[in-house]
Structure 1
C-alpha cells in the first residue's frame, strides 16, 4: 500500500477504503499542514483545517477527476479552506494606545543576523512579501509545484503566476539585501 500511487489511493478512498485514506493522510498531511500554517499563521487553526481538508477528501474522492496531481488537489482544497478561515477571523485590531504600550524587545538587525542562519533569515524575509507573492513562492519553491499547477491551485492564469513570481523574487532580493544577505547562497 505504501508504494500505491495517489490516484489509485483516491479511487480506493472513493470506495470507502479506510487504509487507503490512512496512507494518503500519512503521505501528505505534513506538507499540507505547513502550507496552511504559512497562510493562517496559527497552529491550532491549521490543525483544524487539515482535519477538514482530509474529511473533504474522504467525502469527495469520487468526484476527483484526475486533471491534476492529487497533491495539487489537496493544496487547492487546503487553500480554499485557509482563505475562508482567514475571512471569518474575528481577531481584534490593536488600538493606537495599546500598540504604543507594547515594548519592543526584539534584537537589533546585527544581533538577529548573528543568531540566525541564512535559511532562517530567508523565512523571515518571506514575511515581508504580500500574501499573494508569498503564496506563489511557497507553492513553487517549498511544494515544488509547476507554474501550471500553481495556476490551478490559486485559480489565476499562468501568466499571472509568472508575473507574481518575478515581482516576489525581486522584492525578496531587496529585503534580503536590507538584511545583509546579497547573493552568494552556498
Structure 2
C-alpha cells in the first residue's frame, strides 16, 4: 500500500487546478508530502470513479495505489494540456484497463459490476431503477462516456483524454448511447409504440 489506510481523505480540501498543479510540481521534485496531499485530495473521487468498474474495495485500493505510483514516476512529464484531475482520471482508467488485461479482475466481473451500478442516488427509486435498466443496455464504453459527461461533468475533450480516444470517438459513443436509450427507455417504462 502506498499510504497508510488510516490517513483521512478530504476530497474537498483542494481548491483549484492551480493548487493541484503546484502539488504536482512538488511531486515531480520527489516531495512525498505533496504526493500524500494529492492522494488525500483525489482518493474519494478516484474510488467513486473506479467503483463503476468493480465493487471490490481491495481492487479499487490497488488501482488507486498503482495510479499514484505512476503519478510519482511521471509527474515531471505532465505537460499541462489538461487539468490535473483529468490527467489523474486518465491514469486511473489506463491502470484499470491494464488490470483487466492482466487478469487482476475478470472482465465478467467488470461488466457485471459496471452494469449494476446506479448512476447517482435518486429520491424516486422507480425512476432510478428505470434509468439503471436503460444504462445496462449500453456497452461498457458507452456507459462510461455517458457517466463521465452527465454524472461527473467532464467535457468531451476531458473524456477523450481520460479514455485515450478522440473527441470524435467520444461523440460517436455518446450518440449511439443516446439512440439506444431513446429506443429502449419507453419499452422499459412499459410504453408501447401506440402510446408515444
How does the TM-score come out when normalised to structure 1?
Answer: 0.74
Alpha-carbon separation, structure 2, partners of 1:153 and 1:57: 15
What displacement does 1:41 show?
4.7
Match of 1:44 in 2: 58
Equivalent residues, number:
161
The range that moved more, 170-179 or 154-163, is 170-179
Match of 1:139 in 2: 148
Offset from partner CA, 1:132-167 (integer Å, 9 cap, x none): 101111221222111111112222221221111111
What displacement does 1:172 show?
2.5
Secondary structure in structure 1 of the residue aligned to 2:52: helix
Equivalent residue for 1:5, pick from 6, 19, 29: 19
Alpha-carbon separation, structure 1, partners of 2:60 and 2:53: 9
What displacement does 1:117 show?
4.3
Highest CA radius of gyration, 1 or 2? 1
Report if aligned partners of 2:35, 2:72 keep a CA contact under 8 Å in 1.
yes
The correspondence of residues 1-186 of structure 1 with structure 2, limited to 5 A, is 2-3=14-15, 5-89=19-103, 91=106, 116-180=125-189
- Cα separation, partners in 2 of 1:47 and 1:127, compared to 1, 3 Å: farther
Report if aligned partners of 2:90, 2:163 keep a CA contact under 8 Å in 1.
yes
Report if aligned partners of 2:90, 2:162 keep a CA contact under 8 Å in 1.
yes
Root-mean-square deviation (CA, aligned residues, Å) is 2.6
Offset from partner CA, 1:77-97 (integer Å, 9 cap, x none): 11111111112227598xxxx
What displacement does 1:53 show?
0.5
| Runs of at least 5 residues in structure 1 that lack an aligned partner in the other structure | 94-114
What displacement does 1:2 show?
4.2
Q: Which protein has the bigger helix share?
A: 1
Secondary structure in structure 1 of the residue aligned to 2:51: helix
What displacement does 1:10 show?
0.3
What displacement does 1:11 show?
0.5
Offset from partner CA, 1:48-90 (integer Å, 9 cap, x none): 1011111211222112111111111111111111111112227
